[in-house]
């Protein structure tokens, strides 16, 4: 009996090891698919041009010594530093406008018992589903009227048209999960409707607000269609447009600099995004479930 009892923890541990091994084995193909593009960009970014076009060379390693000239070309022969500043500025302002608009809108639809509030919320969300190409003509008229052609400020005006509807719908669902009793308690203590929102509702709605910020920030960073339509001056372009248009000239592709530009922006954003991934998932699922 003692020997059998002593062997039981060991068998449980071996089962746990096998279970985790099977889980990681199943995840391995997805990990390879996720990491391979980053690995390929890193290898290509520091390869010499002649090494890239060696037919008999192994594409996953170096035949010639690595070089930093692709990064040097990117920073000294293009407006890459301006593209980064433009992208960060656009994403910041779009996120700020989105939050300042969607928070009160979502709260009003969730709390103020407006007529047809539920249908209005669904209608707002449906505008997000409208294809971007359909909105191009009216938005072009708006940009022209504001005299913002060929300026990155035109994108600050345009992008909220599809970040605000989604974030309003998202926050409306999230605000509904906050118990109304805590707002009533705040009002009994002397807070008004605005005070209850700022002091009680917003602090407990952090995951939803962070989700809205992440959504609007990343969507502003990765858009290509509107930036291509409204910005053509080189030093006003964001990174996705600048890399795609300035490093592809006719049939000449600056592959090393293309990959370097994508790597320098993509990897830091992916790291920051993963730091808030739990908040993002809880915000999305919380709004959807409730």
Query: 147 — alpha (psi -120 to 50), left (phi > 0) or beta?
Result: left
| Residue 286, pLDDT above cutoff 60 | no
Superfamily of domain 79-289 in the CATH hierarchy: MetI-like (1.10.3720.10)
Report percent pLDDT > 90 for the chain.
Answer: 11
pLDDT category of residue 1 using cuts at 50, 70 and 90: very low
| Residue 288, pLDDT above cutoff 50 | no
Helix (H, G, I), strand (E, B), or coil: what is residue 270? helix
Mean pLDDT of 117-135: 74
Report percent pLDDT > 70 for the chain.
Answer: 89
DSSP secondary structure code for residue 151 in this structure? S
Among 124-128, 161-165, 226-230, the minimum mean pLDDT is found in 124-128
Helix (H, G, I), strand (E, B), or coil: what is residue 248? strand
Mean pLDDT of 214-224: 86
Q: Which of 45-49, 61-65, 107-111, 284-288 has the highest mean pLDDT?
A: 45-49
| Residue 100, pLDDT above cutoff 90 | yes
Residues 170 and 279: their CA atoms lie apart, in Å, by 14
pLDDT category of residue 2 using cuts at 50, 70 and 90: very low
pLDDT category of residue 279 using cuts at 50, 70 and 90: low
Q: Which residues contact 84 (CB under 8 A, 6 or more apart)?
A: 239, 264, 265
What is the DSSP annotation of 169-182? Answer: HHHHHHHTTS-HHH
pLDDT category of residue 8 using cuts at 50, 70 and 90: low
Query: The tokens of 109 are what?
Result: 């639809």
Pairwise pLDDT comparison (242 vs 184), residue with the higher score: 242
Amino acid 5: pLDDT = 47
Model pTM score: 0.80
Residues 226 and 202: their CA atoms lie apart, in Å, by 32
- Where helices occur in the chain by DSSP H, the ranges are 2-45, 49-52, 69-76, 80-111, 117-128, 136-145, 153-158, 160-175, 180-188, 193-196, 202-204, 206-222, 225-230, 239-246, 255-275, 277-289
The string of pLDDT tens digits covering residues 250-267 is 778 888 888 888 888 888
Q: Domain ranges in the chain?
A: 2-67, 79-289
The string of pLDDT tens digits covering residues 133-182 is 788 888 888 888 888 888 999 999 999 988 888 888 888 878 877 777 77
The string of pLDDT tens digits covering residues 44-60 is 888 888 888 777 777 77
Residues 85 and 93: their CA atoms lie apart, in Å, by 12
Average confidence score pLDDT of the chain:
81
The string of pLDDT tens digits covering residues 186-214 is 777 777 777 777 777 777 777 788 888 88
The Cα-based distances of 194 to 164, 186, 198, 199 in angstroms read: 21, 11, 6, 9
Closest CA to 160 of 78, 91, 262, 255: 91
Helix (H, G, I), strand (E, B), or coil: what is residue 112? coil
Mean pLDDT of 119-127: 73
| Residue 289, pLDDT above cutoff 50 | no
Amino acid 109: pLDDT = 82
Residues 117 and 113: their CA atoms lie apart, in Å, by 7
Amino acid 85: pLDDT = 93
């Amino acid at each position: 009996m003692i020997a059998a009892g002593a062997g039981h923890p060991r068998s449980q541990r071996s089962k746990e090891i096998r279970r985790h091994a099977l889980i990681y084995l199943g995840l391995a193909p997805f990990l390879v698919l996720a990491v391979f593009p980053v690995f390929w960009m890193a290898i290509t970014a520091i390869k010499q041009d002649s090494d890239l076009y060696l037919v008999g060379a192994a594409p996953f390693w170096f035949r010639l010594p690595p070089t930093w000239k692709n990064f040097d070309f990117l920073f000294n022969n293009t407006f890459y530093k301006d593209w980064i500043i433009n992208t960060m500025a656009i994403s910041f302002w779009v996120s700020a406008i989105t939050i300042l608009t969607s928070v009160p809108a979502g709260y009003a639809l969730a709390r103020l018992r407006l007529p047809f509030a539920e249908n209005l919320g669904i209608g707002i969300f449906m505008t997000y589903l409208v294809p971007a190409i359909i909105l191009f003509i009216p938005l072009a008229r708006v940009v022209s009227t504001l005299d913002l052609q060929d300026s990155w400020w035109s994108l600050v005006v345009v992008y909220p048209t599809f970040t605000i509807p989604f974030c309003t719908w998202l926050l409306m669902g999230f605000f509904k999960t906050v118990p109304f009793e805590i707002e009533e308690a705040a009002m009994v203590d002397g807070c008004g409707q605005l005070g209850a929102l700022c002091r009680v509702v917003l602090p407990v709605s952090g995951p939803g607000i962070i989700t809205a910020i992440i959504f609007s920030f990343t969507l502003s960073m990765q858009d290509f269609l509107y930036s291509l339509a409204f910005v053509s001056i080189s030093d006003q372009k964001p990174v996705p447009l600048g890399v795609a248009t300035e490093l592809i000239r006719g049939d000449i592709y600056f592959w090393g600099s293309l990959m370097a530009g994508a790597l320098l922006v993509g990897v830091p954003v992916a790291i920051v995004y993963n730091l808030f991934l739990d908040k993002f998932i809880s915000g999305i699922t919380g709004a959807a479930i409730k």
